[in-house]
Structure formats: C-alpha cells, structure tokens
C-alpha cells in the first residue's frame, strides 16, 4: 500500500474476509428456518456468552443503550432516584438514567486510567441527599476496554444499599484481577455495536447477571413486559429484542473472539513501545486485561496532530471531545462536589489511533512513524 493511502480506522472487512463462509452459512440457516424474532440462535448465543464469561444468565437485547434501560427498569429505578455516572463517557450511560426519569449525577474520573473515581462517590452521595434524591445505583464505565475499580465501587455500593450496573459496552472479554467482565458487578451491560471489540452487523447488546429473578424480569421487559403467556403483560416494557440474524453472526464471531483479543493486545503493546517516549500512552492496571476498544493517547495539541496525521492518510477519532456533564442536554444534572477537572483535562487531550485485530506490524509502524514525525521527532 502506498505510504499515504488512507487507512481504515477500524477494519471490519478484514474480519469479515476471515470468516465470510461461516457467516454466510449462518445467515442462510436463519433465512431457511425464518424465525427472525426469538429464533434458536438467540438462546444459543446467550448460553455461549454465559459460558465465555462464566456468568449465570445472559439476556440478549437490541443495543447497549437498551441494555442500560432494561437494567434500570428491572431495578425499578426512576423518578427521585440518583444514579452516579462518570462525567467522561459516551452519552448513553447518562441518557439511559435520564430516560427512565431518574437523575444522573456526574462524578469525576481518576487522572491515570480515566475510569470512575471511587474517591468521589461518597461526597456525591451526601450531595444528592441534600437535593432530596435517593442514591440508588452506580454505573461505572469500562472506558476504552479496561474494567473500572469494581472492588472499591462494589464496597461503596454495599455500604449504601445501592446497585452497581457495569457499563461494559467497551469491555466484553476484559478482566479485572483475573476475573472476567460479566462477573465483576451484580449486573453488567454490554453492546454489540459493530465497532465495539465484540460487535455484530447492526445494533445489539446484552445484560449479564447471576440473579435469576432479575434475569426473568429482564426477559419480560425486553418483550413488552410479557408474562408467561403471549398476550399477558405484567410490566411496562420495551420492544428490545436481539434479531436472530445478529445472534447468528455473533455466534460465528465468538469462535474467533479470544484470538482477536490477543491480536488487539499485541497491537496495543506495539503502539506503547513505539510511542511512550513522545506522548502519554494508555495504561492498564496491574493484573488487569483490557480489550482495547480504543487505543487513546493524550497530547497537548490534539487538533494539530489529528490534522497532520489525516494529511498522510492516518485516521484518528476523539473519544470524547466534551464531558457528558457539559453537553447541552446534560447540563441540568448535578455534578459531584469535587467537580470534573480530570474529565475536562482528558476530553481536551485525547486522540484515538486505529486499532483492530487485523492491524499488521508494518502498517502499524507506518502509523507510529507518522505520529512521531507529526510531533517533530
């Protein structure tokens, strides 16, 4: 490839080429049986995902955002309830809370990993009490593919009788101190959006839990709150099922996912080795495994670097340019007393580089050289 040919940010076609015959057979199988809604592939996927992460129940659904809404509805969180979310995340984390009528309360991230800072939660709990809200849940986000500090966060939640919903939209397949995502919190939600580490060919998501009663409520809620019989409605729910076609695709992708996690890990290591002396490279906590949803560096002149890379065919992305707490739709919601200084600093400096399981070493060297050259090295 010529040295300035534009590279893809996330090469989904390379993965498709690897498993195209298997995917086409799987899709053909669904077209043949015709059970497009609640087909057998959905239940099979749920079982295989549960086995993959060692969880008791997996409830597949229509997106990561719907997974968050389903989890909040299953916990009966709504008006008058406060839910603590990181100030620096994709908007869906806070959006789901606001959609069910509860109040998202923004807590800062830690300065090292950009994950929800447990140190800010206690003061935030006192603060929401003064606003007349009930502290009900914490939604840590596994930003860029690395699990948040669930050990500290679960302990705080237990002390205050709150729920923990892990937003693992970016981290399915990751681990915290040797334990897989799916087992780190009482409820975990994930996303199968195409660009996530484990994505389908459309929208999809899942809720993972060890709690059988909660899983039953989630299964009901994703299908209009249905009871045991078809037109028996026990709850106000949603239409939030996962399509059978998407489940069939995900089953084929699951077969190569462990290998892809390895490849992503190798690519992240090559970036860090090639860039750590010129930019702030991402860090992973001791004993943890990230699935590298993004490889995100921090630089003072983010826009300048992005432009110079674009000029030589290296695409970049900004995850995220503005803390959710500062977005027009979310400014009305409370911020924890300590403020969101780290979220603001990160949002001004972050720049994500292309990373996927099919990024070969030569292409990656081209990117590393382009970054170093653009920084005047």
Ligand X SMILES: *Cc1c(COP(=O)(O)O)cnc(C)c1O
Burial 352-366 (b: 16+ CB within 10 A, else e): bbbbbbbbeeebbeb
Give the Cα separation of 195 and 200 in Å (integer): 9
Closest CA to 46 of 325, 38, 343: 38
User: Between 103 and 170, whose beta carbon lies closer to ligand X?
Assistant: 170
Stretch of 30-38, 163-171, 250-258, 268-276 lying at the interface with ligand X (CB under 6 A): 163-171
CB 166 to ligand X: min, Å: 10
User: Between 164 and 374, whose beta carbon lies closer to ligand X?
Assistant: 164
Give the Cα separation of 288 and 270 in Å (integer): 18
CB 128 to ligand X: min, Å: 22
Instruction: Rule CB under 6 A: say whether 170 interacts with ligand X.
Output: yes
Give the Cα separation of 364 and 366 in Å (integer): 5
User: Between 170 and 290, whose beta carbon lies closer to ligand X?
Assistant: 170
Count of other CB atoms within 10 angstroms of residue 131:
10
The correct pick among 10, 65, 188, 290 for binding ligand X (CB under 6 A) is 65
Give the Cα separation of 338 and 120 in Å (integer): 7
CB 291 to ligand X: min, Å: 12
User: Between 19 and 91, whose beta carbon lies closer to ligand X?
Assistant: 91
User: Between 312 and 333, whose beta carbon lies closer to ligand X?
Assistant: 333
User: Between 29 and 202, whose beta carbon lies closer to ligand X?
Assistant: 202
Distance of CA 219 to CAs 37, 74, 242, 280, Å?
Answer: 14, 10, 11, 43
Q: Which helix (H) or strand (E) holds 19?
A: helix 12-33
Instruction: Rule CB under 6 A: say whether 191 interacts with ligand X.
Output: yes
Instruction: Rule CB under 6 A: say whether 169 interacts with ligand X.
Output: yes
Instruction: Rule CB under 6 A: say whether 193 interacts with ligand X.
Output: yes
User: Between 63 and 209, whose beta carbon lies closer to ligand X?
Assistant: 63
The site string for ligand X over 204-223 (x = CB under 6 A, - otherwise) reads -x------------------
Omega into 320 within 30° of 0, i.e. cis?
A: yes
Confirm if 176 and 37 have CB atoms less than 8 A apart: no
CB 200 to ligand X: min, Å: 10
- φ/ψ (deg, to 5) at 127: -60, -45
Give the Cα separation of 97 and 103 in Å (integer): 6
Contacts with ligand X in 72-101 (CB under 6 A)? 89-90, 92-93
User: Between 146 and 316, whose beta carbon lies closer to ligand X?
Assistant: 146
Contacts with ligand X in 130-159 (CB under 6 A)? 141
Read off the tokens for 255.
């077969």
CB 93 to ligand X: min, Å: 5
Instruction: Rule CB under 6 A: say whether 243 interacts with ligand X.
Output: no
Number of residues that bind ligand X (CB under 6 A): 15
Instruction: Rule CB under 6 A: say whether 167 interacts with ligand X.
Output: yes
- Which position's Cβ is nearest ligand X? 64
Stretch of 12-20, 162-170, 210-218, 367-375 lying at the interface with ligand X (CB under 6 A): 162-170
CB 66 to ligand X: min, Å: 7
Distance of CA 367 to CAs 131, 148, 324, 348, Å?
Answer: 49, 29, 30, 22
Q: Alpha-carbon Rg of the chain, whole angstroms?
A: 21
User: Between 99 and 312, whose beta carbon lies closer to ligand X?
Assistant: 99
User: Between 92 and 284, whose beta carbon lies closer to ligand X?
Assistant: 92
- Alpha carbon of residue 182 to chain centroid: 12
Q: Which residues are CB-neighbours of 279 under 8 A, at least 6 positions away?
A: 297, 298, 299, 371, 375
Read off the tokens for 31.
């077209």
CB 205 to ligand X: min, Å: 5
Provide the β-strand partners of residue 163. Answer: 137
Largest CA distance in the chain: 67
Instruction: Rule CB under 6 A: say whether 246 interacts with ligand X.
Output: no
By the criterion CB under 6 A, which residues form the site for ligand X? 63-65, 89-90, 92-93, 141, 167, 169-170, 191, 193, 203, 205
């Amino acid at each position: 490839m010529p040295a300035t040919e534009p590279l893809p940010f996330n090469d989904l076609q390379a993965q498709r080429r690897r498993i195209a015959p298997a995917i086409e057979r799987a899709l053909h199988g669904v077209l043949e049986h015709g059970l497009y809604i609640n087909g057998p592939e959905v239940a099979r996927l749920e079982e295989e995902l549960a086995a993959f992460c060692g969880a008791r129940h997996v409830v597949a659904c229509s997106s990561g955002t719907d997974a968050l809404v389903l989890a909040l509805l299953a916990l009966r969180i709504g008006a008058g309830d406060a839910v603590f979310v990181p100030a620096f995340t994709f908007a869906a984390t806070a959006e789901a809370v606001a959609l069910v009528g509860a109040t998202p309360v923004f807590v800062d991230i830690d300065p090292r990993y950009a994950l929800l800072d447990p140190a800010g939660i206690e003061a935030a709990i006192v603060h929401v009490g003064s606003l007349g809200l009930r502290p009900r849940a914490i939604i840590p986000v596994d930003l860029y593919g690395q699990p948040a500090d669930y050990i500290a966060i679960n302990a705080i939640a237990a002390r205050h009788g709150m729920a923990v919903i892990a937003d693992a939209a970016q981290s399915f397949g990751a681990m915290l101190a040797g334990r897989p995502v799916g087992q780190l919190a009482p409820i975990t939600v994930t996303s199968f959006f195409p660009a996530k580490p484990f994505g389908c060919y459309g929208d999809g998501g899942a809720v993972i839990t060890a709690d059988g009663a909660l899983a039953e409520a989630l299964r009901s809620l994703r299908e209009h709150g249905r009871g045991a019989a078809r037109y028996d409605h026990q709850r106000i729910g949603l239409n939030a099922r996962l399509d059978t076609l998407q489940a069939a695709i995900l089953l084929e992708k699951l077969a190569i996912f462990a290998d892809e996690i390895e490849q992503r890990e190798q690519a992240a290591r090559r970036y860090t080795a090639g860039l750590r002396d010129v930019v702030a490279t991402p860090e992973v906590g001791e004993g943890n495994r990230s699935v590298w949803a993004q490889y995100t560096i921090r630089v003072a002149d983010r826009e300048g670097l992005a432009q110079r890379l674009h000029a030589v065919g290296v695409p970049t992305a900004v995850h995220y340019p503005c803390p959710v707490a500062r977005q027009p739709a979310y400014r009305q919601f409370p911020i924890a007393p300590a403020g969101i200084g780290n979220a603001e600093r990160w949002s001004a400096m972050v720049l994500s580089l292309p990373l996927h399981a099919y990024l070969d070493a030569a292409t990656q060297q081209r990117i590393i050289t382009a970054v170093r050259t653009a920084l005047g090295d």
